[in-house]
Chain A
């Protein structure tokens, strides 16, 4: 059973880079599945950020693509998110998620418990 646990700084200053890590347990990140991030804020609701596959393919939300880096560290069985040039609009609860595919017809399950990130000086 896949379990996901996010971690990272809860406060990031404007214009800096937000960095989060997701520890994966109960499943090898090399064994398949797509690993990604979704955020939730009062203003924008639930927003898919992007997802990546261990063997290479990465997908991003076009609205964030130029600022997002999603990567996998198979040696640590963890996923990371970097979001550059943050503003207050990036304040949100960030969830680590899995999906079996990123093609038509997939879904996100399970989700991590979430990590709250506030952007403020």
Chain B
């Protein structure tokens, strides 16, 4: 299985901050990388697919980049509703595996 490692595991930030989360794959996965947001008590929600394509309805302050083994999720200006846990997931090969999550809180 391809292992996905996120950093940091948690971070504290303030409204308006620029936040960057990194995801590293144990093998090259091209751009087959998805990002999800999970708020407490809710199911994960797709934010970005194919490394950099925003899902419909996702605010433009979210962006994704990277290819191969190193990927980044950036929130350009953190909003109150963005405090959540973020997961990356590779879809290069089965089983699709997830990172351990990065929690963004105040």
Would you give the 0/1 interface string for A38-68, flagging 1 where the beta carbon is closer than 8 Å to chain B? 0000000111100000000001011100000
Judged by a CB distance under 8 angstroms, whether B12 is at the interface is no
Instruction: List CB contacts (< 8 Å) of A11-37 with chain B.
Output: none
Residues of chain A touching chain B, judged by Cβ–Cβ distance below 8 Å, are 45-48, 59, 61-63, 95, 102, 104-114
Residues of chain B touching chain A, judged by Cβ–Cβ distance below 8 Å, are 32, 34, 36, 42-46, 49-50, 55, 87, 89, 91-101
* Cα separation A109 to B99 with both chains bound (whole Å): 17
Are B96 and A48 closer than 8 Å at their CB atoms? Answer: yes
Number of A-B contacts (CB under 8 A): 56
* Cα separation A45 to B87 with both chains bound (whole Å): 10
For the complex, would chain B's binding face be called helix, strand, loop or mixed by DSSP majority? loop
Are B43 and A113 closer than 8 Å at their CB atoms? Answer: yes
Residues on A with beta carbons closer than 8 Å to the beta carbon of B46: 107-110
* Cα separation A62 to B2 with both chains bound (whole Å): 13
Are B44 and A105 closer than 8 Å at their CB atoms? Answer: no
Are A107 and B43 closer than 8 Å at their CB atoms? Answer: no
Residues on B with beta carbons closer than 8 Å to the beta carbon of A59: 94
Residues on B with beta carbons closer than 8 Å to the beta carbon of A108: 34, 36, 44, 46, 89, 96
18 A-B pairs (CB sep. < 8 Å): A45-B87, A45-B100, A46-B89, A48-B95, A48-B97, A59-B94, A62-B95, A95-B43, A95-B44, A104-B92, A105-B92, A106-B91, A107-B46, A108-B36, A108-B44, A108-B46, A109-B55, A113-B43
Residues on B with beta carbons closer than 8 Å to the beta carbon of A95: 43-44
* Cα separation A111 to B37 with both chains bound (whole Å): 12
Are A111 and B32 closer than 8 Å at their CB atoms? Answer: no
